[in-house]
Each structure stands twice: as C-alpha cells, then as structure tokens.
C-alpha cells in the first residue's frame, strides 16, 4: 500500500462517521450471529446500517424482516438495499411501497446482480428499471428518501471505461442520490484518483470508502476476481501461509484494515462504510483504533468520534 502523509487535522477524531452493512440471515444460527453482531456494534452509534438484497431480489422478504426488526428493536437507523433485477417497474414500485409502509426511509439503490450471481451476464427485465440511475429516480418519485448508490474506484467490471462509469454515477446523483458507497478496495491511491475524477465530473456528494475486513483471504480474493477489485501483491503476501492459522489471520486482518483506514484519515476522509459480513470483532476493533468507542453512559446521543 502506498502511504501518502497529508497534513493531520487534530480535531478529525471528533468528526469521524461510520456505517455498517449486514446481510439477512438464512438460518436460525445465522440469525443469532447477526443479532449478536448488531448488538455488539450498536453502541458505536453508526450513521446508519444497511441490509443487503440478494441476487435477483432473492432475499426481499428476509431483507424487509431484518430491516423492520432493526428499526423496532434497536436505536440503529436502518437502510434497505433495493435492486431492479428480475422485476417489472410495477413490482419494484410495490416493493418500495412495502418498505416505506414499514417505516423505511433510507435505501441503497443498486442495479443488482443476476439471479445466477456475481459475474453472470446481466439482462434487464423487459418491463423493469434498467439500472441504478432509473431505480434512484423511482425512489425519488415515491418519497423523500435518503438514497445511497454504488461507486467503483476500479471501475465497474461491465463499464467500457471510467468515463462511462462516472457518467452513470452522475445520473444517479442527478436523480436524487445523496451519497455513494464504494466497492471495497485495498489500494488507497486508486480511491483517491477515482474521487478526483468524480469531482472533475461535477459530482460533489460524499464518496464513502467501502472497507472490507478480510475474514477469509481466499474467499475475498475469489470474490474480488469476479467484481473487478484488485488484490495487490503486498496484500497476498501478508496472508501467505495463514490458511490454517485463524488467530494470526485475524490479527493480520485487523492490522491491514486499520492501516488502510488510518491512511485514508490522513488523506482527509471522515466517513467509512464497513462490510461486516455479519461479524463484529474486526469492525469493532478497527473502530476502536480510530477513536470510535461505545457510549460511555446513558444520556449521550453520540460517541465522541461520531459527534
């Protein structure tokens, strides 16, 4: 990782803000783990938490149940992921209405992956919304929602070039998106170059870096290969030989993610979106290292790091 040391801002620790991403559980055991994670991270007082929407809309009902429970049983502001894959406009609008009826006011609008999964060929529903920009416009028509969208520091694998990719982001913002959450990345220089391109294109919403703590390097490397994210050589060397050493793997993972986040803070970044994989320990440790701590006593509405 190339580290650029920009001028440190002494008061930055009082303004850092985080959000967390979860996925809806498939089994009772996964549900227990998710709720252990939610309750462990809740005291960190994130800006919001999001719940994913499976390929082809396959987890729609589970996403709604999970978001509704978070809203009902915790103090966390939940955001529901929403895609337009495999659904007509009428069906997608009905899903938006069902989320809104459950009190959901935050969404993460994504085109989504085909039902066959990441890497499969995408074909829009003949009567559906075509992409994330169209979906964002549909959300804007139905309510005054807080809408986040996706961004790709290394370019979406289906985009012809960065210009095409950034033009799509601009359409999303023009249609009502208030922030972009990036695909995970491990080279901060790539993120910084991307933000510079975005700003030159006249896009000024926050481009929130997506941080993926590596719970299983082999799985992350495989997923990165299908999503267009780069696994740098230095990163692979960090995890070399740790396939059967989970304790050291966890320590290295925490160190790598903390280094990445600390470097981004040095570059002036104040907001981070963590892909938790429904596990709390690494995310909690990283937040601790950057100064985001649990509420110390009742009556506080924010951690010192998120005020």
First-to-final CA distance of the chain: 30
Q: Cβ(256)–Cβ(227) under 8 Å?
A: no
Identify the pLDDT of residue 289. Answer: 92
> Which residues have CB under 8 Å from 184's CB, separation 6+?
210, 211, 212, 224, 229, 275
DSSP state of 282: H
Going from the first residue of the chain to its last (307 residues), give the mean pLDDT of each consecutive group of 10, the final group possibly shorter.
38 76 94 97 97 70 91 96 89 92 94 65 77 96 96 92 96 98 97 98 98 96 90 97 96 96 97 97 95 65 37
Query: 157: part of which helix (H) or strand (E)?
Result: none
DSSP state of 166: H
Catalytic residues: 21
Q: Cβ(265)–Cβ(290) under 8 Å?
A: yes
> Which residues have CB under 8 Å from 162's CB, separation 6+?
155, 194, 197
Q: Is domain 12-289 classified as CATH 3.90.1170.50?
A: no
Identify the pLDDT of residue 307. Answer: 32
Per residue, the 3-state secondary structure of 200-225, as one string, reads HCCCCCCEEEEECCCCCHHHHHHHHH
Identify the pLDDT of residue 55. Answer: 53
Measured distance CA(194)–CA(127) in Å, rounded? 33
Phi, psi (degrees; rounded to nearest 5) at 264 = -65, -35
Identify the pLDDT of residue 15. Answer: 81
């Amino acid at each position: 990782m190339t580290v650029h040391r920009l001028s440190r801002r002494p008061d930055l620790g009082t303004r850092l803000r985080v959000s967390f991403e979860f996925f809806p559980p498939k089994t009772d055991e996964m549900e227990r783990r998710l709720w252990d994670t939610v309750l462990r991270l809740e005291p960190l007082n994130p800006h919001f938490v999001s719940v994913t929407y499976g390929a082809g809309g396959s987890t729609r009902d589970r996403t709604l149940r999970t978001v509704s429970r978070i809203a009902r049983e915790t103090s966390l502001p939940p955001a529901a992921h929403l895609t337009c894959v495999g659904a007509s406009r009428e069906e997608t609008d009905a899903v938006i209405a069902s989320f809104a009826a459950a009190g959901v006011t935050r969404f993460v609008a994504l085109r989504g992956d085909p039902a066959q999964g990441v890497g499969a060929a995408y074909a829009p529903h003949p009567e559906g919304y075509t992409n994330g920009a169209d979906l964002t416009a549909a959300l804007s028509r139905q309510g005054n929602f807080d809408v986040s969208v996706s961004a790709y520091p290394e370019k979406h694998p289906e985009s012809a070039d960065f210009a095409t990719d950034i033009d799509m982001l601009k359409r999303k913002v023009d249609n009502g998106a208030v922030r972009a959450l990036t695909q995970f990345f491990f080279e901060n220089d790539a993120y910084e170059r991307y933000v510079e391109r975005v700003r030159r294109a006249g896009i000024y919403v926050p481009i929130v870096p997506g941080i993926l703590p590596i719970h299983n390097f082999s799985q992350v490397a495989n997923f990165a290969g299908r999503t267009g994210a780069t696994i740098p050589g230095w990163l692979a060397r960090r995890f070399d030989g740790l396939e059967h050493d989970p304790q050291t793997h966890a320590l290295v993972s925490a160190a790598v993610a903390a280094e990445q986040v600390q470097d981004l803070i040095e570059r002036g970044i104040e907001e981070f979106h963590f892909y938790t994989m429904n596990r709390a320990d690494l995310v909690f440790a990283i937040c601790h290292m950057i100064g985001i701590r649990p509420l110390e006593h009742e009556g506080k509405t924010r951690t010192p790091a998120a005020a």
